[in-house]
A = this chain, B = another copy of it.
Amino acid sequence: MATDSEEMVRLGHGSGGELTERLLQNFVFPYIDNRWIQQGHDSATLPLDGSRLVFTTDSFVVSPLFFPGGNIGTLAVYGTVNDLAMSGARPKYLSCGLILEEGLPLKQLARIMQSMGRAAAEVGVQLVTGDTKVVEKGKGDGVYINTSGIGVLAAPQPIHPRQIAASDAIILSGDIGRHGMAVMAAREGLDFENPLHSDCAPLCDPVMALLAAAIDVHCLRDLTRGGLATALVELAESSHMQMQVHEDQIPVTECVQGACELLGLDPMYVANEGRFLLFVPANQQQAALEILQAFDVSAGSRVIGEVIGLVDDAGTADVILSNALGSERLLCRLPGEQLPRIC
């Protein structure tokens, strides 16, 4: 594949958007070719001794390490647990790989580890194995954490974008943009009248409740790097579907809206760490909403759009965003980097 004029890694390669996709397609996937990687999913469902095992990994490099609503430790537990939940798996075990920078105050490490321990206990997942490396001052940034997670599939089959079907309802689990803006505000030392709190939270409970109620979950996706817009575009592409989303149905708090305007950002592209999309058959949307709304973390769930249908041979998969005035625009992935090191 051509590599354009990209000769070096740029910050945008970590955005979770278009550049990340090109980096993986050109420099990673050609060398690691198997059916799991080809699925382009956040986790892998593995055949092993008859288990229905789900395996996922995530590295966390958020800056600053501490922000309103959480820190890198809570994020490292919830983030990986959420990737498992989005595959329909009940999280069971986590690993923890620490890369510490020389000079990190040990008190900060203790606070982070305490948060990890609490977050794991809250979710009912066990941190079972770990590794610690130290790099010289100026070769890291306090601490980077990798967590890998093992879960057991609770859904009748692995949840995957290819199950998205025409006329599916698209449900969003709450307001968007809080995690990204909270981290950004903490990083830049911005002082808002109403302080922004990250939405970072575990998503397993509402997902397990949907599965226990035998809701026919077609797809789940958490909205991390790249935000709601990038997630929708990725899902449209993976499923070869056209989707319609209604802007006035997407909740954005005044506080996030104000901070976004101040910084020239679009909340549709801002990262979340406790929000997800659910695709279900239209005739189950009401049942699904009732289940989701019973949990604090997804109390703000609502239908934000629908799947129109398969794109025709000539067309490309796309996501149409319509506003209250009836005007429409096509969403695209996050083209470069909007907010580096948000998770």
Enumerate chain A interface residues (CB-CB to B < 8 A).
3, 6-14, 20, 23-24, 26-28, 30-34, 36-37, 42-44, 46, 48-53, 55-61, 92-93, 95-107, 109-110, 113-114, 116-118, 120, 126-136, 138-141, 144, 146, 148, 150, 152, 340-341
Contact = CB atoms under 8 A, between A and B. Distances in A.
Nearest to A12: B134
A42 B6 CA distance: 39
B23 A132 contact: yes
Nearest to A120: B32
Interface centre among A59, A101, A341 (most CB of B within 10 A): A59
A57 B102 CA distance: 21
Contacts of A95: 55-57, 148
Given A55-B128, A95-B148, 16 more contacts: A9-B100, A13-B100, A14-B132, A14-B135, A23-B106, A32-B117, A37-B130, A49-B52, A53-B150, A59-B98, A59-B99, A135-B144, A136-B341, A138-B138, A139-B140, A146-B148
Given A57-B146, A103-B8, A133-B14, A50 B49 contact: yes
Nearest to A47: B92
A46 B128 contact: yes
Nearest to A107: B7
Given A95-B56, A99-B61, A100-B14, A28 B113 contact: yes
B113 A31 contact: yes
Interface centre among A7, A24, A133, A152 (most CB of B within 10 A): A133
Contact of A13 (B105, B134, B140): B134
A31 to B, nearest CB: 4
A44 B106 contact: no
